[in-house]
Copies of this chain bind each other. A is one copy, B any other.
Amino acid sequence: MLNNISVIGSGSWATALVKVFADSKIHVSWLVRGKEQADYINANRRNPRYLSYAEIDPDFVQPTTDLQTAIEGAQLIIFAMPSAYLKGTVESIDPVWLHNKQLAVSIKSFVPDTGYIPSLFVAKYFEWTDPVIVLSGPCHAEEIAMEKHTYLTIAGSDPQRIKEIGESLRAPYIQVVYNNDPSGVQYAAILKNIIGIATGIADGLHYGENFLAVLSSNAMREINAFLSEAYGAVRDLHDSAYFGDLLVTAYSGHSRNRTLGKLIGRGMQVTKALGSMKMVAEGYYASRELAAVTRQMGLSLPIINSIYRILHEHANPFHEFKLVEKLLR
């Protein structure tokens, strides 16, 4: 049984995870950025900066600003931060601290400049021989804050281990889905973030629902093509971690990636659109890393490639989408 975990990260997704575990009566040691933030959480039962309407139960949550303190005593360490900070964080960890612990990641992008998905990066860095667990959606942090019925995917290669975590999650609004394809789940999440930018651009360009439906169904085909090529495991793409995760981004008002896309579709320069956002749209960075990966694989993914050109090669969204239109079916 899981009694003590550590969440490393204090953005909105990390805050949602802290809430889920605390509401499951599991003690959470939570690494936050500064003492002021820790004090605020202790005093007000909520994170001042992100997802501030999520109620955090102080009986089960101990904020700390010290990495070693956050980790010691936890059975499971969950890395849940923007991908850009993962490398620096793991480099600050003395591997001795991790003795007898389990590791999990909940990050939807590549680790920058490595081409690695988070679980593989962490495993490689710590020369970890145990399977690294992956927590995934489809979930918006905002709806966890509101305690809306949510399915949380726990992916890992050891069925016993993911079951142990799953059975500990007793928050009444959470339902666990098990999955044995942790790499596929991470890649699908990366791809859907890029697709979320694509649907946002389409929306910004005033395409309608008829187009959006075809864009999304073709996107699913690209995700399928990529996963089959990269990770040929047997998987049912209708499992919620793949198709569901795409939908929760592609058709959402909560998605940052979709918001970024919409600004670009409306005509804002990419750098300005990025600058105007409070939170990180992971799809922007992921699309650059993914382009390198797909080039190496010799894969042609029209929508994904088009978003890469718009984000990183100054392509005109209007013209790109005129080209994409013709390639969809």
Contacts and interface: CB of A to CB of B under 8 A. Distances in A.
Contact of A240 (B175, B207, B218, B240): B218
Given A208-B140, A248-B209, A220 B240 contact: no
Contacts of A209: 140, 143, 248, 251-254
Contacts of A220: 238, 243
Interface in A117-171: 137-140, 143-144, 146, 148-151
Contacts of A177: 214, 329
Given A217-B244, A238-B220, A210 B328 contact: no
A218 B238 contact: yes
Interface string A317-329: 0000000011011
Nearest to A329: B177
A311 to B, nearest CB: 22
A213 interface: yes
Given A175-B325, A325-B175, A329-B151, A238 B211 contact: no
A248 B210 contact: yes
B151 A210 contact: yes
A139 B238 contact: no
Contact of A238 (B137, B149, B221): B221
B207 A224 contact: no
A325 B176 CA distance: 11
A247 interface: yes
Nearest to A251: B251
Interface residues of A, number: 45
Contacts of A247: 212-213, 216-217, 247, 251
A175 B151 CA distance: 37
Contact of A217 (B144, B175, B239, B325): B239
A236 interface: yes
A127 B77 CA distance: 68
Q: Among the interface residues A239, A254, A326, A329, which one has the most CB atoms of the partner chain B within 10 A?
A: A329
Interface in A243-263: 243-245, 247-248, 251-254
A256 to B, nearest CB: 14
Q: Among the interface residues A138, A149, A175, A216, which one has the most CB atoms of the partner chain B within 10 A?
A: A149
A243 B149 CA distance: 24
Contacts of A242: 217
A135 to B, nearest CB: 14
A91 to B, nearest CB: 34
Nearest to A141: B210
Interface in A197-217: 207-214, 216-217
Interface of A: 137-140, 143-144, 146, 148-151, 175, 177, 207-214, 216-218, 220-221, 224, 236, 238-240, 242-245, 247-248, 251-254, 325-326, 328-329
Sorted nearest first, the 4 A-B pairs with minimum C-beta distance are A148-B208, A217-B244, A213-B248, A217-B243
Given A148-B211, A150-B208, A150-B211, 14 more contacts: A138-B213, A139-B210, A143-B208, A148-B210, A151-B211, A175-B326, A177-B214, A212-B248, A214-B244, A216-B244, A217-B242, A224-B238, A239-B329, A251-B251
